[in-house]
């Protein structure tokens, strides 16, 4: 009791010191062209070297589902042509609620997926997603049972860990199974059951989530105990060999007779795990201690939201004190995708922001299934535009809600005046040259590209129409500065 009183006091203190983080959004950038033959289902994103977006998704159709991937190309400020990941002739399964996953650490990346005959596979890249190796079977036949909905993380040293669900051919005898690799993903160990310590059985279609830290492995999934379908967690301290610790994140007690195909997602915050999940029509969050699994209470992500709004597909990422939530919901007629950002705790935000374009005709329909990755003060987000059959990408840098532009101050770059009438001045730190300035409209159109060979660069904006614009400054490898400015 004393430990959890101290922890709650710690949370209260953080709340008193909290600040909401406000995103500065970049342009809308397509990963795929409209109605592309590569499809757009359930996009997932990871970061190569914590900076370069790497996106995977699935083309679904009759008889031949295919996994694709595309990497951001800084030289062209666009995504490379999609690369087919799954072998020719293999039929991959995916939907908005179920599919594979991606993870990256340094230049090593893994994509996992499963087929329509319920077999799980893994593909590895060692050059940050530019080329991919052979397809490797993860599961070990399971005596004819099914294996599906894999999730992947990478342990220090580059070895992947995968969790997937197993079941018999009647979707009974469900298990959450973990396989590890000790040779960089060339082979996988036999399955370890991560569910053994919990009453009930894993919900038959809800995808699990996986976290790793050093030798600790965390498996989160929806449990089915006489149709009460709460989110639970099991913890391994030996890299996924045994799972002796169990935790009950979820006290919402959602009772439903059939599987809702709605899993959880989680990330680290201080010494805790923060999880998000859907229960009935709303998204909840909770924390649990990363060692003993002691859990706090469940809370609605948006307590004031109308009871008639349906929220779906929550995801969470973060680093340090920053937590980023994404999801889609139907609060304004169509499904839109949203983000909320906290700088000091699971619920330290009061504003949510729409990620997708609300003006472009192509995005006036359904936008869904968002996913995000966060590093170095920048959020990288992807989502599916159902009406145009596209995967879209958008980034945002985060700054303090009190108007302090801290990410930009770290770069040493400044602009003036803002608003601007004719000429925007960009001032660089002493000795920092050889960068490129790019200006985008809010619809994502690239308007200006200007090389910056001096510490002070003047950009002519006299021909711009009045409105908001986005300035990016990038060096040879990455975007190092992003901000919005106004043309009067």
Rounded to two decimals, the pTM is 0.82
> For position 389, what pLDDT does the model report?
93
At 285-319, the pLDDT tens digits run 999 999 999 999 999 999 999 999 999 999 999 99
Each residue of 236-275: b (16+ CB within 10 Å) or e? beebbebbebbbbbbebebeeeebbbbbbbbbbbbebbbb
Distances (CA, A) of 369 to 29, 51, 249, 299: 17, 22, 23, 22
> For position 446, what pLDDT does the model report?
84
- List the structure tokens of 435: 């960068």
Give the contacts of 82 (CB within 8 A, at least 6 positions apart).
31, 32, 36, 38, 68, 69, 70
Task: Please give the chain's pLDDT, 488 residues, in tens.
Answer: 333 333 333 343 333 344 567 788 999 999 999 999 999 999 999 999 999 999 999 999 767 899 999 999 988 889 999 999 999 999 999 999 999 999 999 999 999 999 999 999 999 999 999 999 999 999 986 777 999 999 999 998 899 999 999 999 999 999 999 999 999 999 999 999 999 888 999 999 999 999 999 889 999 999 999 999 999 999 999 999 999 999 998 999 999 999 999 999 999 999 999 999 999 999 999 999 999 999 999 999 999 999 999 999 999 999 988 999 999 999 888 899 999 999 888 988 878 999 998 776 555 679 999 999 999 889 999 999 998 999 999 999 886 433 223 333 346 788 888 889 899 999 888 878 789 999 988 666 789 999 998 889 999 999 999 888 888 888 876 777 888 888 88
Residue 47: CB atoms within 10 A of its CB come to 22
Closest CA to 129 of 42, 56, 78, 50: 56
- List the structure tokens of 204: 């038959």
DSSP state of 15: H
Domains of the chain: 20-400 (2.120.10.10), 412-487 (2.60.40.1930)
- On whether the CB atoms of residues 232 and 220 are closer than 8 A, the answer is yes
Q: How far apart are CA 249 and CA 370, in angstroms?
A: 23
> For position 338, what pLDDT does the model report?
96
Give the contacts of 6 (CB within 8 A, at least 6 positions apart).
none
């Amino acid at each position: 009791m004393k430990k959890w009183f101290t922890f709650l006091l710690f949370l209260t203190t953080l709340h008193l010191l909290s600040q909401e983080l406000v995103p500065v959004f970049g342009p809308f950038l397509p990963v795929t062209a409209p109605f592309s033959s590569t499809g757009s289902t359930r996009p997932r994103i990871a970061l190569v070297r914590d900076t370069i977006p790497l996106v995977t998704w699935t083309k679904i159709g009759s008889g031949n589902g295919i996994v694709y991937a595309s990497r951001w190309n800084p030289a062209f400020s666009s995504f490379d042509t999609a690369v087919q990941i799954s072998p020719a002739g293999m039929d991959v399964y995916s939907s908005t609620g179920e599919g594979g996953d991606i993870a990256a650490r340094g230049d090593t990346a893994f994509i996992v997926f499963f087929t329509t005959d319920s077999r799980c596979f893994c593909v590895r890249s060692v050059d940050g997603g530019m080329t991919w190796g052979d397809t490797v079977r993860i599961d070990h036949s399971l005596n004819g049972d099914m294996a599906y909905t894999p999730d992947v993380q990478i342990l220090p040293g580059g070895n992947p860990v995968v969790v997937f669900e197993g079941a018999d051919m009647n979707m009974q005898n469900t298990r959450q199974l973990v396989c590890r690799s000790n040779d960089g993903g060339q082979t996988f160990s036999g399955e370890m059951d991560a569910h053994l310590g919990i009453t009930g059985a894993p919900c038959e279609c809800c995808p699990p989530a996986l976290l790793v830290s050093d030798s600790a492995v965390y498996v989160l999934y929806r449990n089915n105990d006489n149709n009460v379908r709460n989110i639970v967690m099991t913890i391994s301290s030996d890299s996924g060999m045994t799972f002796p610790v169990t935790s009950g994140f979820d006290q919402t007690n959602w009772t439903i007779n059939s599987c809702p195909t709605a899993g959880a997602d989680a990330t680290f915050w201080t010494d805790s795990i923060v999880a998000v999940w859907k229960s009935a029509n709303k998204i909840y969050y909770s924390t649990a201690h990363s060692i003993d699994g002691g859990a706090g209470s469940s809370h609605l992500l948006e307590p004031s939201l109308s009871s008639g709004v349906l929220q779906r597909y929550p995801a969470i990422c973060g680093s340090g004190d920053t937590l980023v939530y994404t999801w889609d919901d139907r609060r304004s007629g169509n499904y839109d995708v949203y983000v909320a950002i906290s700088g000091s705790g699971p619920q330290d935000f009061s504003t949510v922001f729409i990620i997708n374009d609300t003006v472009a005709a192509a995005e006036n329909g359904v936008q869904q299934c968002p996913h995000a990755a966060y590093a170095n003060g920048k959020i990288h987000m992807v989502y599916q535009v159902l009406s145009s059959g596209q995967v879209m990408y958008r980034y945002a840098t985060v700054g303090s809600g009190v108007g302090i532009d801290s990410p930009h101050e770290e770069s040493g770059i400044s602009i003036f005046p803002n608003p601007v009438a004719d000429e925007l001045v960009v001032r660089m730190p002493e000795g920092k040259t050889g960068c490129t300035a790019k200006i985008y409209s809010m619809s994502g159109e690239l308007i200006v590209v200007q090389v910056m060979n001096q510490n002070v660069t003047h950009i002519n904006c006299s021909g711009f129409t009045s409105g908001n614009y986005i300035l990016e400054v990038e060096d040879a490898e990455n975007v190092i500065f992003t901000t919005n400015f106004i043309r009067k």
